[in-house]
Amino acid sequence: MRISELSERTGVSVATIKWYVREGLLAPGHRRSATQAEYDDDHVARLRLIKALGEVPGLPVQRIKAIVDLLDHPHADLVASLADALAQLPPYPAGPVAGPAPGRPSAAEALDLIGYAYDPQFPAVAQLDAALGAATAVIPFDEDTFAEYGKHLRAIAESEIGKIPDDPAAAVPYGVLGTALYEPVLLALRRLALYDAASRLLPADRPE
């Protein structure tokens, strides 16, 4: 198809498509003549992917390029590819991992509490540390609530990892995109779950 049809099918403007090609996010079309290039279904799929990633709040285009590069050239080790891809997603912790502070555990201690693997190089560790610091400055750390988070998020993760295809080439996009694109779904659902539970359980019918 021509670039105009590619634009029509994906809802991405011709100017933006050309910019993605120049920036290396999208492969050039196949040359038919000096002035025309032919695009195929792979271009459609890649453009839909870039568009969807572009809607992730706070994900800059350089990070989208890094994710796309990882999809095109994954590591042999699937876990390493997944970790690298997750590192591209916001938020981007500003500082190094802090130690334990009064009234709250360090990220390492918190993960130990719930039996999660701990790797200080994995960016989500610094992310957890920063988030725990902000939260516990106002609400005391509650071990039971944290254990509840750990249990249920582990169940969700095991269900998601169980669905990842055996083929490493298919597994990387699946894992990366599932994380990037389903986090906003999870966050929205979390608020809806709170609203649903509040409507059912507050204030008259609170269970013991």
- CA angle, corner 62, sides to 4 and 41, nearest 5? 35
Distance of alpha carbon 160 from alpha carbon 16, whole angstroms: 33
Residue 115 φ/ψ region, left for φ over 0, alpha for ψ in the -120 to 50 degree band, beta for the rest: left
Interface region with its own copies, contact rule CB under 8 A, candidates 29-37, 63-71, 95-103, 169-177: 169-177
Q: Indicate whether 14 belongs to the interface with its own copies (CB under 8 A).
A: no
Binding to its own copies (CB under 8 A) within 64-83 occurs at: 78-79, 82-83
Q: Indicate whether 161 belongs to the interface with its own copies (CB under 8 A).
A: yes
Kindly tell me which of 2 and 48 has the beta carbon lying closer to its own copies: 48
Quick check: 100 and 106 in contact, CB under 8 A?
yes
Q: Which of 35, 117, 140, 169 binds its own copies (CB under 8 A)?
A: 117
DSSP one-letter code for 33: S
Q: Which of 137, 140, 143, 170 binds its own copies (CB under 8 A)?
A: 137
What's the min distance (Å) between Cβ of 68 and its own copies?
12
Binding to its own copies (CB under 8 A) within 35-64 occurs at: 48-49, 51-52, 55-58
**Residues near 155 by beta carbon (within 8 Å), at least 6 away in sequence:** none
